[in-house]
Amino acid sequence: MTTSARRSRSTSRFARSSSLRGLWLAATCAVLAARPAAGQAYERVRTPVSLAPPSATALLRDRPWLGPVASLVAPGTGQLLAGQPRGILYLAAEVWLLARAVALRRESRSERRYFAGLAYAVARRRFGGASVDGPWPYYEEMGKYVESGSYDRNPTGEFQPETDTTTFNGHVWRLARQTYLEDPDVVPVPGSPPYRAALTFYQDRAVTDAYRWSWRDARLEQDVYRASIRASDEAYRASTNVLGAVLLNHLVSAVDAFVTMRLGKNGVFPQVVPGPGQDGFRLTWHAAF
């Protein structure tokens, strides 16, 4: 090989190596230039994002009372306006509790219609009269006594209360004599003031003929009637307790929103965000008084 050929090959090798070095230096510079932009993007990603729109945030900043009032009216709305995801829990609890209260009240009314219809069909129909609905204590007493007893044992003459103490009216007359007479076992003197007081007590509380009942020869139906009474009563009490829980949910949500407004936009709950390093994290807690 001649000297000129050797020089030409060495020159071409040097040129190729120089171009490779240039490409490597250009790539290195591009990577170094992109690192600040990537770091800024990483910071933007790990920065907590508020769920509330800017207008709501500004409104709450100007009117700090708005969040607690909104949560008191509709639980969870104050938290959601402040960008707090836990407001969804208050709203979900509100919807579930209201649905449960409505269902329990509907069940109580359904049981009431059932035992009222059963009472008229079995215990009251034999005495005739229209199907007149009575008050709640009246139906409770129907479950305790087999018969109501007559209201007046002498409808064509002087008024005579029921004396059979196994019936409801007889029990009322016994209680009236114990209340107003010195000796309830002694026959009272008609027309005397104690007798008139006892008679007024009886007439105000005894069951009239329009509501008279008898479960005699229908004790199984009376047991079913008692079970329906208990079911209606339990459903009504449960619905009342659920409505109390609804009120408590309103109060807790309002207090939570108030504390959130006092302690800052992040509330009383610390927030964990990604930190420097691959496995690092940072605990933040903003408070403003």
How much is the pLDDT for 14? 43
Distance CA 88, CA 67 (A): 14
How much is the pLDDT for 77? 86
Instruction: Please give the mean pLDDT across all residues of the chain.
Output: 78
The residues pairing with 214 across neighbouring beta strands, listed in sequence order, are 147
The share of the chain scoring above pLDDT 90, in percent, equals 46
Dihedral through CA 174, CA 176, CA 180, CA 183, nearest 10?
Answer: 0
Helix (H) / strand (E) element for 274: namely strand 271-274
pLDDT tens digits, one per residue of 122-145: 999 888 867 788 888 999 999 999
Determine whether 107 is exposed, middle or buried from the number of CB atoms within 10 Å of its CB (0-12, 13-18, 19+): middle
Q: In Å, how far are 47, 80, 114, 211, 215 from 265, measured between CA atoms?
A: 14, 11, 54, 64, 67
Which has the minimum average pLDDT: 60-69, 101-110, 223-232?
60-69
Distance CA 54, CA 82 (A): 10
| Domain extent listing, the chain | 126-245
Q: What is the mean pLDDT of residues 16-39?
A: 50
Q: In Å, how far are 56, 76, 172, 241, 253 from 73, measured between CA atoms?
A: 17, 9, 49, 20, 10
pLDDT tens digits, one per residue of 234-285: 999 999 999 999 999 999 999 988 887 777 544 444 555 566 655 665 655 5
pTM of the predicted protein model:
0.64
How much is the pLDDT for 252? 93
How much is the pLDDT for 58? 54
Look at residue 271 and give its three-state secondary structure. strand
The share of the chain scoring above pLDDT 70, in percent, equals 68
Distance CA 198, CA 254 (A): 55
How much is the pLDDT for 142? 94
Angle formed at CA 271 by CA 269 and CA 274, multiple of 5 degrees: 170
The residues pairing with 211 across neighbouring beta strands, listed in sequence order, are none
